[in-house]
């Protein structure tokens, strides 16, 4: 994140702007965009039966001979140093094998922080891990106890005697705001964006809003706790992990422990939820070191409290959004600035202003984020990092402006939708938010909404309706690779180190490969979750599907030539070149003369070959720099608020999405609904509470940190435009994160419509409505 990076990215974008679109990836639309086969069908999850039968093995379920267990001990102060650490009592406790502290931990460096310039870097914190006596935040790991059983390790961890010398620490958001840092870039975009003179346009606008919006710290709460099982055999390391960045983690561990990359294997076939939190944290590194020290297989699974103490979440924010509009409702100024927490030892900028750059037209823009340093666990990526909370602020402000101008809030948004990227001016690759809005409003019954707040009632309940939009960029990560194998029996295997976290990756890529290779779905097997397989990108940024699909497309093109050569001169295809044939009907066929066809079984039998295999990587994702590629949401909410208690009950939630082609309606609907439910948590229940005196998290459990449960979740409808993006593989864009964007604002706007009370500080709790 530097000025040099800004110059490089902007220079590349400028250069690519002059390159004809047809020369870039996606210049010729993927032929599968218009094909109707397995892609687009509601295929059931291929991993479903194993999960239902309990046969899907997760990281904490691997059975190994001689397995021992670890428990972590966390700092109880915020900043300072350890002055005494007495482990003698713990070491004598039943079953204890070893106690590991900064005194005996192997000397290792900190992992490189995750960043866009080095996709092999996956660290979430650059702080030393059990390397010295220094304490940087409340919850930092200060020791690990290894024992024969988990219960013995947990007990012995309570027996360590630790004294600290405390040092001053900044734990108050308001105080930390006084000395912010401004980083030059946010991911691959310039941080400070100034177009026109936004403050002057705002002052001169006949209609304007200018308010602050606040969102709290939130913690990750995947159902599967972070867990790792480690096995050393000589200088070869095997790690069973709950990870959403398998290949990169293997590379990082090899570097940290001085191993050859091929001697490190990370296995993570199933992950029970990630959402950005299942990266490389201290516990994996401690576990790997501990297993080597005791020379035994070892398991370390964090407690729920342990997750809160050492795995970061969504940063708190304070955002200023100001919008000016002329008499016709056209935006003349859009200002989005503010503060979020990102300690210098962290890597996640919580880029809440990025969505505002692409969402609406405006005569002028002023956008800037400031980062503040607090002595806390480093925040990290959490589903739609930045966009989820940025859309709350922006879309709440638009609702406020619409109410001031007496314009329907949906209509005000439609008047300001851009026909090209409003800042860069580049063309959208595919952009149909108007259709999403129109379809969603018709299905939801938006015409029943009353403009005057508080006019609809049902006994003690005040009824309201609200809407909001969201935007999330298309991302295709470079370097994703796959291995495609065709076999003599007419089956195929797709192999790569991708992560299956329940979103349907294996199912969708099996559907894709079936259509790409002209096979029935039952003939395709997908192998994932193993760093020994060709490296795929991390599962993040809603990028995994497009990234793997791009690699499969290239591999299939390469495989055509290999199979054609295998067919030889006795084939009906003899004399044809690779460009003149295609996979079809479980074999190869001439494009010009489809009757010239031969099955894979026939080709391999004549050649006496068992299989043909190729490995390929997707092309550089230059389409992202040539075109504006964004998925959008139109979220509608209907709810009721009690006059007696202030309780909010959401009755209906509908999301209409424009996000390219939908590859599997069944898995897509699940993804959208999951995101929308997380949006309800953002809006109404989720908040990590810090004791500002100590920097300690006070509600580190699901008893005190409230996520939506079944009774909190209403009927949720999802729909989509299903318009392919002509410049992405399969015409698809990512959908994992667009579901959450806009939901919190839609809820807040519906609360205002019901009560006339504008809540600008999430979550929307009872005390703010009474």
Residues designated as active site: 737
Residues β-bridged to residue 318:
214, 339
Distances 715 to 168, 676, 677 between C-alpha atoms, Å: 49, 11, 11
Contacts of 510 (CB under 8 A, 6+ apart): 38, 43, 46, 494, 521, 524, 525, 526
Distance CA 277, CA 271 (A): 11
3-state secondary structure 245-285: CHHHHHHHHHHHCCCCHHHEEEECCCCCCCCCCCCECHHHH
The rounded distance, in Å, linking the Cα atoms of 160 and 86 is 6
Alpha carbon distance 66, 747 (integer Å): 52
Q: What secondary structure letter does DSSP report for 689?
A: P
Query: Residue 7 belongs to what H/E stretch?
Result: helix 3-17
CB 69 within 8 A of CB 147: yes
Separation CA 707–CA 655 (nearest Å): 20
Contact 729, 661 (CB under 8 A): no
Cα Rg of the chain (Å, integer): 27
Rounded distance, CA 497 to CA 528, Å?
5
Cβ proximity of 732 and 725 under 8 Å: yes
Query: Cα 529–532–537 angle (5° rounding)?
Result: 55
Strand partners, 141: 74
Strand-pairing partners, residue 166, are 80
Residues pairing with 660 in the sheet: 732
Per-residue DSSP letter, 200: H
Provide the token pair at 687: 């908040």
DSSP state of 658: E
Task: State the distance between the two ends of the chain, measured CA to CA, in whole angstroms.
Answer: 44
Closest CA to 383 of 631, 679, 732, 123: 679
Structure tokens at 601: 């079984």
Burial class (CB in 10 A: 0-12, 13-18, 19+), 180: middle
What Cα–Cα distance (Å) separates residue 202 from each residue in 196, 210, 333, 365? Answer: 11, 9, 5, 10
* Dist. CA 768–CA 214, nearest whole Å: 13
Q: Are 282 and 125 in contact (CB under 8 A)?
A: yes
654 pairs with which residues across the strands? 636, 717
């Amino acid at each position: 994140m530097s000025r040099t990076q800004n110059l490089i990215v902007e220079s590349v974008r400028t250069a690519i702007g002059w390159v004809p679109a047809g020369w870039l990836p996606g210049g010729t639309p993927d032929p599968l965009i218009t094909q109707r086969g397995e892609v687009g069908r509601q295929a059931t999850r291929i991993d479903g039966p194993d999960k239902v039968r309990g046969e899907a093995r997760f990281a904490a379920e691997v059975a190994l001979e001689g397995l021992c267990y670890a428990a972590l001990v966390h700092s109880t102060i915020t900043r300072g140093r350890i002055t005494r650490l007495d482990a003698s009592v713990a070491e004598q406790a039943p079953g204890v094998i070893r106690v590991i502290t900064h005194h005996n931990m192997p000397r290792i460096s900190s992992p490189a922080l995750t960043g866009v310039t080095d996709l092999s870097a996956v660290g979430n914190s650059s702080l030393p891990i059990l390397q010295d006596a220094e304490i940087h935040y409340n919850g930092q790991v200060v020791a690990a106890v290894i024992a024969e059983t988990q219960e013995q390790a947990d007990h012995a961890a309570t027996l360590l005697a630790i004294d600290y010398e405390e040092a001053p620490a900044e734990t108050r958001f308001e105080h930390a705001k006084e000395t912010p840092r401004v980083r030059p870039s946010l991911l691959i975009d310039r941080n400070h964006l100034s177009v026109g003179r936004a403050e002057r346009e705002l002052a001169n606008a006949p209609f304007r809003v200018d308010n602050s919006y606040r969102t709290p710290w939130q913690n990750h709460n995947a159902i599967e706790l972070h867990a790792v099982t480690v096995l050393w055999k000589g200088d070869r390391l095997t790690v069973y992990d709950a990870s959403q960045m398998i290949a990169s983690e293997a590379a990082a561990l090899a570097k940290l422990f001085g191993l050859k990359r091929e001697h490190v294997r990370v296995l993570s076939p199933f992950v029970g939820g990630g959402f950005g939190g299942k990266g490389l944290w201290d516990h994996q590194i401690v576990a790997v070191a501990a297993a080597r020290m005791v020379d035994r297989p070892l398991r370390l699974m964090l407690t729920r409290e342990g997750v809160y103490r050492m795995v970061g979440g969504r940063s708190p924010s304070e955002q200023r959004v100001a919008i000016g509009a002329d008499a016709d409702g056209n935006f003349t100024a859009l200002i989005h600035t503010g503060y979020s927490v990102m300690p210098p030892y962290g890597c996640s900028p919580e880029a809440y202003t990025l969505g505002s750059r692409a969402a609406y037209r405006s005569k002028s823009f002023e956008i800037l984020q400031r980062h503040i340093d607090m002595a806390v666990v480093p925040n990290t990526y959490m589903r739609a990092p930045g966009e989820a909370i940025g859309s709350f602020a922006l879309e709440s402000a638009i609702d406020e402006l619409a109410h001031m101008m007496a314009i329907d809030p949906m209509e005000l948004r439609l008047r300001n939708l851009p026909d090209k990227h409003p800042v860069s001016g580049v063309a959208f690759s595919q952009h149909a938010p108007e259709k999403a809005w129109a379809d969603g409003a018709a299905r939801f019954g938006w015409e029943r909404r009353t403009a005057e707040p508080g006019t609809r009632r049902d006994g003690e309940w005040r009824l309201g309706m609200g809407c909001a939009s969201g935007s999330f960029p298309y991302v295709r990560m470079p370097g994703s690779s796959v291995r495609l194998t065709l076999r003599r029996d007419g089956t195929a295997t797709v192999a790569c180190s991708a992560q299956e976290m329940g979103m349907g990756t294996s199912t969708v890529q099996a559907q894709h490969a079936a259509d790409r290779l002209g096979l029935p779905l039952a003939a395709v097997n997908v192998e994932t979750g193993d760093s020994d397989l060709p490296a795929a990108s991390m599962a993040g940024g809603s990028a995994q599907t497009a990234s793997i699909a791009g690699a499969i497309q290239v591999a299939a093109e390469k495989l055509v030539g290999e199979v054609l050569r295998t067919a030889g001169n006795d084939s009906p295809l003899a004399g044809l070149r690779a460009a003149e044939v295609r996979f079809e009907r479980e074999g190869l066929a001439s494009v010009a003369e489809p009757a010239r066809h031969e099955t894979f079984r026939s080709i391999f039998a004549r050649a006496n070959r068992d299989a043909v295999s190729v490995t390929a990587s997707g092309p550089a994702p230059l389409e992202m720099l040539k075109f504006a590629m964004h998925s959008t949401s139109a979220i509608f909410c209907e709810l009721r608020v009690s006059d007696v208690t202030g309780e909010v009950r959401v009755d209906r939630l509908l999301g209409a999405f424009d996000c390219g082609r939908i590859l599997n309606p069944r898995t897509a609907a699940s993804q959208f609904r999951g995101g929308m439910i997380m949006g309800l948590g953002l809006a109404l229940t989720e908040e990590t509470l810090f004791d500002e005196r100590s920097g300690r998290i006070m509600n580190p459990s699901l008893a005190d940190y409230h996520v939506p449960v079944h009774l909190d979740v209403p009927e949720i409808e999802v729909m989509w435009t299903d318009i392919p993006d002509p410049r992405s593989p399969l015409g698809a864009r990512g959908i994992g994160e667009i579901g959450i964007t806009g939901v919190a604002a839609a809820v807040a706007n519906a609360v205002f419509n019901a009560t006339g009370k504008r809540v600008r500080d999430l979550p929307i709790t009872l005390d703010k409505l009474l």
